Structure formats: structure tokens, C-alpha cells
A = this chain, B = another copy of it.
Amino acid sequence: MRITKARLAHIVFESDDWASKTFDIVLLFLIFGSILVAILDSVASLRVKYGEIFLILEWMFTILFSIEYGLRVWLSRKPSNYIFSFFGMVDLLAILPTYVSFFVVNSQFLTVVRALRLLRVIRILKLGRYVAEAEYLTRSLKASSHKIMIFIGFVVTIVLIMGTLMFIIEGPQHGFTSIPVGMYWAIVTLTTVGFGDITPVTALGQFVSSIIMLLGYAIIAVPTGIVSSEMASQKKKMDNEASTYCPSCERTGLSKADYYCRYCGERMP
């Protein structure tokens, strides 16, 4: 059996038969493998021991990804469309760092770019069964993005005022060395993270902090409320879209499980 270009394109771009599914799964393993190697390589003790093996594996992954990238460019109907698409850029960013590291010595920034490989997983999983749920989440978040923007603006205002206040109350001698540090502390506190690297020491500082914390406790409800109510309304909309209507009285909002229209009593088709 000779593999034609059309067959190869099917294997690379689709995911509906044995060969194309295997291609996707192998790719998934390669992506997770390359990320695992990058993670392990950052551990000093492992780097000393297995540094060379990691380098060889990294090059192996890069070459395989390069072949895959070449295939995608070659097999696309309009290569330029693929190259400048979001996933085309991600694919390129997945292989570039290793080649660049050949010229640039010890560039740590490339490690971050390498972590972007994880984004490639999205495309492969997109073919799976999680699409509908992901779309539902995305829709809900998009619908509530305006409200969340206002909320973030509101939070930033509180952070600025509280950060300035604490900088003045506690001062540099208690770790609040500047307004930006005060704002960092205010964010740490308002989000209830509470590292404890900088903490109020004076009575007044602790009193103001208490107010910030209670405030944070109360307003944590807001984004949750926004997203929850948006999700509930999205859910309803999707349920409605899946519902049907009565051809006799033309009323909508009927369940497909109904035998008779609940408004006019006519038998449903």
C-alpha cells in the first residue's frame, strides 16, 4: 500500500480512523515527554547526572517536531494560512528554542518558550469529546468578561489605596518599603493568599489589615456570583436550543421526551 499525499494529510489533520488516531496519540506522548524532560532538566541534581541524556532527548524531540512541522506546511492546502495561524505559531515556537540555543549560550528564557509546547495539547484534545464542555465554559466566561473587567478595575483601586495606606502606616522598617510593595502586599492579602513574607506589626496596621481581609472575604463572592449566574443562564439557553416546539399551537420550550404538547394536548411528532 503506497501512501498518497491525500492519505498523509488525512492522518495528520483528521482523527477518525486507526492511523490518524495513532498519529495523535504518539504526538501527545512526544509533547508530554518533551515537557517532562524540560522539567527534570531544571532539577540541579538530575541535570548533573543525566544532563547529556536530556540534551539528546531534547534534540530528538525537536527533530521529530520539526519533521511534523514540515509535514503540516507541505500538506496544507494554503501553507501561509497554516504558518500564520495561532497553532502554526505555537508549532514553530515549539521547535525554535532548541535551534536558537545552538547559537545563544545558556539562555534560560528559552525554557519558558519551550513550556508553550503544552498549548499544542489543546489542538489534539480538541478532537476529543471535551469540546462541548470547553465551549460551554468559554461562552460563560466571555459573557461575563465585561463584568469581570469592572470587578478587576474595582479591585485595583482598592489595592492602590490600601497599598498606599499600609506603606504610610507601617513604613519601610516593617517591610513595606514602597507603594508597589504595599500594593503587592494588598493583593496577597485581598486574594486571601497570605504568604506572610510581609505582615503588619503596628496595632493600626493590623486593624486596617483586618478590614482589608473582611473586604476581600466579602468581595470574593462577586466574581463567583457573576460566573455562576452567567453559567446558569448559558445552561438554560443551551437546554432551550435542544428543546423543540409544538407544530399545532407553535409554542416553544417543549422537551423532546414529551409525547403530547403540554399546552394544547396535540400529539407531538
Measuring CB to CB, which residues of chain A are less than 8 angstroms from any residue of chain B? 35, 38-39, 42-44, 108-109, 111-112, 114-116, 118-119, 121, 125, 130, 133-134, 136-137, 140-141, 146-153, 155, 157, 160-161, 164-165, 167-168, 172, 177-184, 187-197, 199, 203, 206-207, 209-210, 213-214, 216-218, 220-233, 235, 255, 258-267
Contacts and interface: CB of A to CB of B under 8 A. Distances in A.
Nearest to A149: B130
Nearest to A213: B191
Contact of A210 (B149, B187, B197): B187
Contact of A42 (B167, B225, B230): B167
Contacts of A108: 168
Most B CB contacts (10 A, CB to CB) among A134, A152, A255 go to A134
A222 B229 contact: no
A57 B114 CA distance: 42
A218 B260 contact: no
A216 B193 contact: yes
Contact of A165 (B112, B221, B224): B112
B150 A130 contact: yes
A162 B17 CA distance: 36
Contacts of A118: 157, 160-161
Contact of A172 (B44, B111, B112, B233): B44
28 contacts: A35-B160, A39-B179, A43-B177, A43-B180, A108-B168, A111-B168, A115-B160, A115-B164, A115-B165, A118-B157, A137-B222, A180-B206, A180-B207, A188-B210, A188-B213, A190-B217, A194-B196, A195-B195, A221-B223, A221-B228, A225-B228, A225-B230, A228-B228, A233-B235, A258-B262, A260-B263, A261-B262, A265-B265
